[in-house]
């Protein structure tokens, strides 16, 4: 029996028979994919990356697909893959081809799109490489690998398993048979034919051309569990699935020489590579990668929980991709980000800065431009999902007209939906006076130096409000009356209105006194001012 048949007796297909099942994609079309690993939550990276892939595919009007890289089953989280699709859908990042869970049929003819279902396919190619002498089983133990590394370090040569440092590369058929009969564990390694001393030029659509060292390592292509490594799965999947542009984290950039060797070895066309910098944040004086463990904003859910709009997140990420997106957006308020002329070569290859202040700014601008009915609807959905108690017991119980009046007032100041409750609690709740609130009534900068002055202006407001016997039609009406009376008292508007505003809101910052009177209504305003007057 031949070596490849001893190693892979169950594999009966040949590369040719597999290749036949994956017809070449039409010439000149662009095919991109995202290939996440389904480990716990959805990192904002996945959205960023999917956007980029979608942009590149969409610009060329062709295929954007999803492949689930679940070969690391120890780290896999149940249901994570399905969640990916659901969440990306919220961002309108839909795929042309994708896997369906748990056992439904995939959408697309180039599947299965889940790596754990492709083991047989990988093995067909591994078997063939062994047959051709381009790969070999390696029985080195962890201890032997460590010992090799120590020897290499001592003699100052590059570390790793290659050429003369790989005994199984030169092992005889008998030696291999013996190791197999002893049931020794083995991996399959690539028999690299490239040279340590040679350089190759790799091309990258973001990083441009880089001259770098060839791969010379006999890397593992199939683990002892029979599952291929990322490198090998990338080679097989992206070739069979017809990916033309591999757009991925730059942590994979160091592997490009190896991937070039793999594609050359198969005599397959090398896809175009584009490596973008990792998402980073500012931490003290330096930047560091956004960490799943440390940074709440790494998780996509964080953005939903904190009341950011999908549209704002997409704009924010677009702006990270190409900085002049912002200017374009100002001219094209209604357009989809997909209409913007993104340039891959202008993406920062070193890092992509996630600046939450910037996102909040973009979100606030989005809120400001949103028609009030839409904002009201989004707020309702947000509260229902994340603030159920408030939604049921307060928001729904108030009149829609009242909620809308508050929202209109707040629209220019609201930066996220999450802020709504904190900024509006006093519209929905009466509050007790206390010393802290009392101290807010005094404001020496506005010449309100003591409580006597406070009392005087609160009384003036009370008199104005009491003199009227119905509610106000609009803010203008309130304004006219107050301005007139304040003028008569020979005061400045802000002097009188400061304590009135504090008495109505109980807050240091809030909408203006006149707006508060308009929204709260005459009666409630009178009640609150009286309560404060009684307290001080």
Stretch that binds ligand GLU, among 172-180, 247-255, 278-286, 394-402 (CB under 6 A): 247-255
Helix boundaries (H) for 132-229: 142-154, 173-181
- DSSP, residue by residue, 437-486: HHHHH-BGGGTB-SHHHHHHHHHHHHHHHHH--S--SSHHHHHHHHHHHH
**Closest distance of CB 35 from ligand GLU, Å:** 4
Query: Site size for ligand GLU, by CB under 6 A?
Result: 9
Stretch that binds ligand GLU, among 145-153, 245-253, 428-436, 484-492 (CB under 6 A): 245-253
**Closest distance of CB 320 from ligand GLU, Å:** 18
- The CA distance from 85 to 199, in Å, is 41
Determine, following the binding rule CB under 6 A, whether residue 207 of this chain makes contact with ligand GLU.
no
**Closest distance of CB 290 from ligand GLU, Å:** 14
Residue 130 neighbours by CB under 8 Å, 6+ apart: 3, 4, 7, 8, 136, 137, 188
Which residues within the stretch 47-106 sit at the binding site for ligand GLU (CB under 6 A)?
A: 69
Determine, following the binding rule CB under 6 A, whether residue 248 of this chain makes contact with ligand GLU.
yes
Stretch that binds ligand GLU, among 9-17, 88-96, 243-251, 401-409 (CB under 6 A): 243-251
Residue 193 neighbours by CB under 8 Å, 6+ apart: 261, 265
Q: Which of 41, 92, 249, 268 binds ligand GLU (CB under 6 A)?
A: 249
Q: What is the dihedral of CA 150, 151, 155, 158, to 10 degrees?
A: -70
Stretch that binds ligand GLU, among 32-40, 192-200, 211-219, 486-494 (CB under 6 A): 32-40
Is 122 or 136 the residue whose CB approaches ligand GLU more closely?
122
Determine, following the binding rule CB under 6 A, whether residue 278 of this chain makes contact with ligand GLU.
no
Is 97 or 387 the residue whose CB approaches ligand GLU more closely?
97
Structure tokens at 277: 């910098």
| Closest residue by Cα to residue 337 from 363, 356, 310, 360 | 310
Determine, following the binding rule CB under 6 A, whether residue 231 of this chain makes contact with ligand GLU.
no
Cis before 234? omega within 30: no
Determine, following the binding rule CB under 6 A, whether residue 7 of this chain makes contact with ligand GLU.
no
| Closest residue by Cα to residue 499 from 488, 491, 508, 486 | 508
Is 185 or 251 the residue whose CB approaches ligand GLU more closely?
251
Whole-number Cα distances in Å, 447 to 100, 145, 222, 255, 497: 68, 80, 79, 69, 12
Q: Could you give the strand order of the β-sheet that contains 31-34, starting from the edge strand earlier in sequence?
A: 63-66, 31-34, 245-249, 272-276
* Phi, psi torsion values for 86, nearest 5 degrees: -60, -45
Looking at residue 394, what DSSP letter applies?
Answer: I
Stretch that binds ligand GLU, among 33-41, 164-172, 269-277, 442-450 (CB under 6 A): 33-41
Determine, following the binding rule CB under 6 A, whether residue 36 of this chain makes contact with ligand GLU.
yes
Helix then strand count (H, E) for the chain reads 23, 12
Is 43 or 418 the residue whose CB approaches ligand GLU more closely?
43
**Closest distance of CB 286 from ligand GLU, Å:** 24
Q: With 0-12 CB in 10 A as exposed, 13-18 as middle and 19+ as buried, what is 174? A: exposed
Name 443's bridge partners.
Answer: 448
Q: Which of 35, 93, 478, 500 binds ligand GLU (CB under 6 A)?
A: 35
Determine, following the binding rule CB under 6 A, whether residue 116 of this chain makes contact with ligand GLU.
no
Is 258 or 503 the residue whose CB approaches ligand GLU more closely?
258
**Closest distance of CB 33 from ligand GLU, Å:** 7
Looking at residue 133, what DSSP letter applies?
Answer: T
**Closest distance of CB 9 from ligand GLU, Å:** 30
Q: Which of 231, 234, 275, 329 binds ligand GLU (CB under 6 A)?
A: 234
Q: Which residue is nearest to ligand GLU (CB)?
A: 248
Q: State the residues that interact with ligand GLU by CB under 6 A.
A: 35-37, 69, 234, 246, 248-249, 252
């Amino acid at each position: 029996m031949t070596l490849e048949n001893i190693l892979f007796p169950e594999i009966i297909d040949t590369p040719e028979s597999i290749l036949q099942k994956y017809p070449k994609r039409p010439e000149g079309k662009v095919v991109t994919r995202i290939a996440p690993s389904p480990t716990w939550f959805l990192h904002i990276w996945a959205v960023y990356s999917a956007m980029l892939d979608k942009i590149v595919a969409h610009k060329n009007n062709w295929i954007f697909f999803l492949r689930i890289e679940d070969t690391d089953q120890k780290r896999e989280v149940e249901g994570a893959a399905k969640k990916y699709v659901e969440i990306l859908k919220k961002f309108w990042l839909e795929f042309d081809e994708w896997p369906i869970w748990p056992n439904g049929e995939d959408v697309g003819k180039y599947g299965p799109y889940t790596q754990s279902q492709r083991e047989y396919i990988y093995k067909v190619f591994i078997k063939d490489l062994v047959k051709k002498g381009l790969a070999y089983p390696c029985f080195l133990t962890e201890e032997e690998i460590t010992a090799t590394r120590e020897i290499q370090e001592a003699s100052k040569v590059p570390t790793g398993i290659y050429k003369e440092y790989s005994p199984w590369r030169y092992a005889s058929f008998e030696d291999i048979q013996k190791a197999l009969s002893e049931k020794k564990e083995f991996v399959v390694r690539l028999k690299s034919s490239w040279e340590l001393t040679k350089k190759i030029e790799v091309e990258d659509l973001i990083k441009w051309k880089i001259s770098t060292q060839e791969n010379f390592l006999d890397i593992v292509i199939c683990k002892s569990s029979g599952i291929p490594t990322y490198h090998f799965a990338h080679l097989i999947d992206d070739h069979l699935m017809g990916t033309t542009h591999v757009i991925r984290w730059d942590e994979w950039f160091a592997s490009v020489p190896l991937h070039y060797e793999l594609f050359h070895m198969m005599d397959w066309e090398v896809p175009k590579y584009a490596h973008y910098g990792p998402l980073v944040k500012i931490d003290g004086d330096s930047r560091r990668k956004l960490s799943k463990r440390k940074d709440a904003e790494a998780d996509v859910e964080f953005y939903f929980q904190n009341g950011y709009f999908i549209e704002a997140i997409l704009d924010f990420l677009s702006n990270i991709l190409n900085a002049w997106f912002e200017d374009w957006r100002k001219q094209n308020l209604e357009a989809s980000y997909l209409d913007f002329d993104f340039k891959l070569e202008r993406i920062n290859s070193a890092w992509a800065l996630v600046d939450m202040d910037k996102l909040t700014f973009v979100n606030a601008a989005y809120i400001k431009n949103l028609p009030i009915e839409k904002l009201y609807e989004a707020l309702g959905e947000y509260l229902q999902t994340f603030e159920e108690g408030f939604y049921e017991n307060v928001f729904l119980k108030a009149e829609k007209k009242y909620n809308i009046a508050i929202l209109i007032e707040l629209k220019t100041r609201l930066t996220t939906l999450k802020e709504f409750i904190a900024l509006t609690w006093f519209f929905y709740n009466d509050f007790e006076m206390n010393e802290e609130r009392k101290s807010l009534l005094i404001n020496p900068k506005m010449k309100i130096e003591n409580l006597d002055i406070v009392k005087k202006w609160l009384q003036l407001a009370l008199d104005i409000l009491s003199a009227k016997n119905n509610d106000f039609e609009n803010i203008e009406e309130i304004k006219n009356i107050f301005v007139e009376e304040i003028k008569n008292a020979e005061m400045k508007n802000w002097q009188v209105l400061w304590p009135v505003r504090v008495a109505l809101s109980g807050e240091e910052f809030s909408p203006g006194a006149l707006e508060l009177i308009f929204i709260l209504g005459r009666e409630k305003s009178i009640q609150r001012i009286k309560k404060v007057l009684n307290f001080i």
